[in-house]
Structure 1
Amino acid sequence: MTSLPAALDQELAALLGDGWRTGEDERQAHGNDNSRRSALPDAVALPNTREQVVALVRACRAHRVPIVARGAGTSSTGAVLPIAGGVVVSFERMNRILEIRAGDRYAVVEPGVLNGDLQRALAPHGLFWPPDPASAELCTVGGNLACNAGGPHTVKYGATRDNVLGLTAVTGTGELIHCGSATTKDATGYDLTHLIVGSEGTLALIVDATLKLAPVPPQRASLRALYADVASAAAAVSRIMAQPTTPAMLEFMDAACIELARDVGGTDIPDAGALLMIEADGDAATLPHAVAVLAQAARGEGLLSLDTAPDEIASEKLWAARKALSPALRSIAPGKINEDVVVPVSRIPELVDGIQALAREFDLPIVAFGHAGNGNLHANILYDPDDAGQDARAQAALPRLFTLTLQLGGTLSGEHGIGLAKRDFMAHAFDPATLAAMRAVKNAFDPDGLLNPGKVLP
């Protein structure tokens, strides 16, 4: 039974027609995400146009009803859970690619466009949008914008925030604002575009975005480097990132991941203390040089082996180990806390050593892999949620992981965002004055605190 004011229920039913849902099944379907948490909204709205979003926000504000924007629900932080009830605004119907300007290398899209669908639409133009999270086939551009999503290609091409030129959004007061432009240079006024990107729906609801596109590299080649220990691999990462040829991808796996990929994932990979997957891209004239330079940087103390894949088919074979990880993790534990902490590249050995110490202390498997070129590692705490002891130990290990990360000069999230999972740790990551400035920004966009309440800020 919904607890919405009857007048609001009637107004939004008239506005949205069959896009206004208050049934139990629909509410439950929009009350969870990939964090394994859940919270029931009072209703679900499926707008078709920006005008409907404006009217919806104004109506909810008049009745002081919370609003939570939702993409595909792939968040692992609880960012889209309606913990205060209210209306979940699903953008699944606003899924149009409004414009592709290949000559100017930008596209204008609505928030419900799937990342994978966008890439397929851009391919005939020889272009792509660089953010490539693991959930690209399922996640929406709006969700990517909300959490500043990244992926393996971030090391060369940047995260979502680096690949957005402008956007149109609806603030918590129901005002339609236009931020940024369709140009790659813009020194006009405050940069509201990059403020809203990564704000997890707490400042405004994005109704369209102008995305910066990149040309698809004609060729790719990969290398796989095995090292005796994490310190040797981290030193290689520093060498790789210090020379002028930027890798298109630079991925790290610790010893536990290597064992998992081999024993559970069935990939052909020998024992090692750490592994780096390195990808270069370019054309026929430049690619061999890039591969040679990256291979030279990868060589050094502790290197056990270095394999080169000169073409796409061979590259896919090398990347099989990395792709086998997620299924392998699911097969050995029903529960997984996947945190995307970031440290300076030189501190990766200390982070991995600390993670291994936590695994021993809490008697749980904790494996680390991820985007080494950015110092962004996914620390996966594996446990059985139905085992009270394991569940308690997993929850106790999490704050220790965050404390370790901050002590190493790192940050809580590289691409997943804060949501609910890391909200209370923001007070450890920022001083009171900085948090006060964030709250002032929140109040300017959403003075009634109705947009995604209870998220991001402690």
Structure 2
Amino acid sequence: MTLPAALAAELAALLGDGWRTDDAAREAQAGDDSRRHALPDAVALPRTREQVVALVRACRAHRIPIVARGAGTGTTGAAVPTLGGIAVSFARMNRILDVRAADRCAVVEPGVLNGELQTALQPHGLFWPPDPSSAELCSIGGNLATNAGGPRAVKYGATRDNVLGLVAVTGAGELIRCGGAYTKCSSGFDLTRLIVGSEGTLALIVEATLKLAPRPQAQAGLRAFYRDAASAAAAVSRLMAQPVVPAMLEFMDRRSLELLRRNGSDVPEAGAMLLVEADGGFDALPDILAALGAAADGDGLLDMDVAQDGMARDRLWAARRALSPALRSIAPGKINEDVVVPVSRIPDLVAGVEALADEHALTIVSFGHAGNGNLHVNILYHPDDADETARARMALPRIFDLALALGGALSGEHGIGLSKRGFMARAFDPATLEAMRAVKRALDPDGILNPGKLLPDV
């Protein structure tokens, strides 16, 4: 696509040095962690919401696509400008506008990095709960766009549960405000929760009011090994049924543990492992830990470790942190897709994935956030082996079909983007998809915001 000269001149005047058409700038906004790549025709780096409004209105007049960009850590291709157009980087809108400790909220621009926000909140004794694996690098805007989660989501919720309000620019170039610095509201439609997770297809977020939580005084951890995935899943059900909600509850399957042992980690032979973290006050933590330990105990438990100080907890979690890098020791190619099922169906999901691995002669490793039923299914293959690559591509839709058959969904935290867009018609009936398209038309009447993402073609 070639940008109209009039549009390029208008945006150059509007943005000054925030309007870039050089190859280096375009290349920097061409991909994400999905390894997909497509060059935008230009890059816009606005500094103010007024510039964003003017930019969208100008692009709408010329029917030019707009793709909002955060830090590019997404895994589904949602931020890749596949149709060219303008990549809007929010790197310069990176101010923490206000920390309102008394209201337990922070007001931020989308370019603030998650890790920077957490550092700024420490003196206030507060934190923002979403903690994706890329937390030090990813932007708040990207977290909002994808409804990012992480291990803490089991207790504190994902991004959508930790946003109180938004200011955003629709595809019609209108500035809208929804929500605010309050936790209870019964006034009209909940546009905040609608826009969060919409992957930049409905509006460009220019400000967010985030819900903060008090930083716990203390943490402790448990590591439990089980005979099989069914025993571990039964323990997950017990853990989630008792009154004390774990701060984190992570699952690793048999193949994960085999891989860790092969790479030198100190884990015994077992069918599955759970990592459980508790947090709370100094006085309450021993009772919390005892309750979680009692729930983790049961049929199929082989061994359990308890760690209450920081160094011991780090040792327990070392295996979880080592797992993703260890995957590369099996094969250089990796298809990493997250699916979510009801917690009670985790054994069926793991068993089904193992059966698919055997059927397609592939190594498939499953691990993730058991307390939410959200597992990361990693298909490992050699890209230079055409037959193995084909088998990996054939296994992927079978995994999605398995998750849907178990009453689950295509994604728990990564989103849809490009990688799962073609499967949305399997996940939703035509009437539901048409309702989503109607919302899209209402907020983006000309379809310029991140076209070709999330929703399948009609």
Query: Does TM, normalized by the shorter one, top 0.5?
Result: yes
**CA contact under 8 A between 1:367 and 1:380: conserved in structure 2?**
yes
Partner of 1:35: 34
Q: Which of 423, 426, 437 does residue 424 from structure 2 map onto?
A: 426
Alpha-carbon distance in 1 for matches of 2:278, 2:83: 46
Partner of 1:111: 110
Q: Secondary structure at the match of 1:271?
A: coil
Alpha-carbon distance in 2 for matches of 1:44, 1:386: 34
Q: What amino acid is aligned across from residue 379 of structure 1 in structure 2?
A: V
**CA contact under 8 A between 1:133 and 1:151: conserved in structure 2?**
yes
TM-superposed deviation, 1:25: 2.3
Q: Which of 273, 276, 281 does residue 275 from structure 1 map onto?
A: 273
Please tell me whether residue 402 in structure 1 is matched to residue 434 in structure 2. no
Q: What amino acid is aligned across from residue 373 of structure 1 in structure 2?
A: G
Q: Deviations over 1:130-162 (max 9, x none)?
A: 000000011000000000000000000000000
Q: Secondary structure at the match of 1:324?
A: helix
Q: Secondary structure at the match of 1:332?
A: coil
Q: What amino acid is aligned across from residue 367 of structure 1 in structure 2?
A: V
Q: Secondary structure at the match of 1:179?
A: strand
Please tell me whether residue 333 in structure 1 is matched to residue 331 in structure 2. yes
Alpha-carbon distance in 2 for matches of 1:94, 1:261: 41
Partner of 2:151: 152
Alpha-carbon distance in 2 for matches of 1:63, 1:101: 41
Alpha-carbon distance in 2 for matches of 1:330, 1:183: 45
TM-superposed deviation, 1:236: 0.4
Q: What amino acid is aligned across from residue 103 of structure 1 in structure 2?
A: A
Q: Secondary structure at the match of 1:28?
A: helix
Alpha-carbon distance in 1 for matches of 2:89, 2:257: 39
Alpha-carbon distance in 2 for matches of 1:36, 1:231: 35
Gap runs ≥5 in structure 1: none
TM-superposed deviation, 1:267: 2.1
**CA contact under 8 A between 1:249 and 1:277: conserved in structure 2?**
yes
Alpha-carbon distance in 2 for matches of 1:283, 1:427: 47
Q: Deviations over 1:149-184 (max 9, x none)?
A: 000000000000000000000000110000111101
Partner of 2:448: 450
Please tell me whether residue 294 in structure 1 is matched to residue 292 in structure 2. yes
Q: Which moved more, 1:16-25 or 1:42-51?
A: 16-25
TM-superposed deviation, 1:84: 1.2
Alpha-carbon distance in 2 for matches of 1:333, 1:6: 47
Partner of 1:356: 354
**CA contact under 8 A between 1:171 and 1:203: conserved in structure 2?**
yes
Partner of 1:168: 167
Q: Secondary structure at the match of 2:412?
A: coil
Alpha-carbon distance in 2 for matches of 1:15, 1:393: 50
TM-superposed deviation, 1:377: 0.4
**CA contact under 8 A between 1:172 and 1:450: conserved in structure 2?**
yes
Please tell me whether residue 187 in structure 1 is matched to residue 220 in structure 2. no
Alpha-carbon distance in 1 for matches of 2:88, 2:44: 5
Q: Which of 305, 312, 322 does residue 324 from structure 1 map onto?
A: 322
Q: Secondary structure at the match of 1:269?
A: coil
Alpha-carbon distance in 2 for matches of 1:333, 1:422: 23
Q: What amino acid is aligned across from residue 258 of structure 2 in structure 1?
A: E
TM-superposed deviation, 1:385: 2.1
Alpha-carbon distance in 2 for matches of 1:391, 1:424: 19
Alpha-carbon distance in 1 for matches of 2:106, 2:168: 16
Partner of 1:202: 201
Please tell me whether residue 381 in structure 1 is matched to residue 379 in structure 2. yes
Q: Which of 411, 414, 423 does residue 413 from structure 1 map onto?
A: 411
Gap runs ≥5 in structure 2: none
Q: Which moved more, 1:356-365 or 1:189-198?
A: 356-365
Partner of 2:345: 347
Partner of 2:57: 58
Q: What amino acid is aligned across from residue 319 of structure 1 in structure 2?
A: W
Q: Deviations over 1:227-283 (max 9, x none)?
A: 01000000000011010000000000001111222322x321111100000000011
Q: Secondary structure at the match of 2:328?
A: helix
TM-superposed deviation, 1:312: 1.5
TM-superposed deviation, 1:299: 0.7
Partner of 2:390: 392
1:254-273 matches, cutoff 5 A: 254-264=253-263, 266-273=264-271
Q: Secondary structure at the match of 1:135?
A: coil
Q: Deviations over 1:181-206 (max 9, x none)?
A: 11011111110000000000000000
TM-superposed deviation, 1:389: 1.5
Please tell me whether residue 369 in structure 1 is matched to residue 363 in structure 2. no
Partner of 1:228: 227
Partner of 1:133: 132
**CA contact under 8 A between 1:262 and 1:321: conserved in structure 2?**
no
TM-score, normalised with respect to structure 2: 0.99
Partner of 1:90: 89
Alpha-carbon distance in 1 for matches of 2:388, 2:61: 46
**CA contact under 8 A between 1:339 and 1:378: conserved in structure 2?**
yes
**CA contact under 8 A between 1:204 and 1:445: conserved in structure 2?**
yes
Alpha-carbon distance in 1 for matches of 2:138, 2:176: 25
Give me the CA root mean square deviation. 0.8
Alpha-carbon distance in 2 for matches of 1:279, 1:267: 20
TM-superposed deviation, 1:387: 2.2
TM-superposed deviation, 1:331: 2.8
TM-superposed deviation, 1:332: 2.4
Q: Which moved more, 1:285-294 or 1:329-338?
A: 329-338
TM-superposed deviation, 1:319: 0.5
Alpha-carbon distance in 2 for matches of 1:275, 1:131: 23
Q: What amino acid is aligned across from residue 73 of structure 1 in structure 2?
A: G
TM-superposed deviation, 1:330: 2.3
Q: Secondary structure at the match of 2:367?
A: strand
Alpha-carbon distance in 2 for matches of 1:267, 1:103: 44
Q: Which moved more, 1:188-197 or 1:389-398?
A: 389-398
Alpha-carbon distance in 1 for matches of 2:386, 2:69: 32
**CA contact under 8 A between 1:420 and 1:456: conserved in structure 2?**
yes
Alpha-carbon distance in 2 for matches of 1:19, 1:384: 41
Partner of 2:4: 5
TM-superposed deviation, 1:440: 0.3
Alpha-carbon distance in 2 for matches of 1:262, 1:256: 10
Q: Which moved more, 1:185-194 or 1:16-25?
A: 16-25
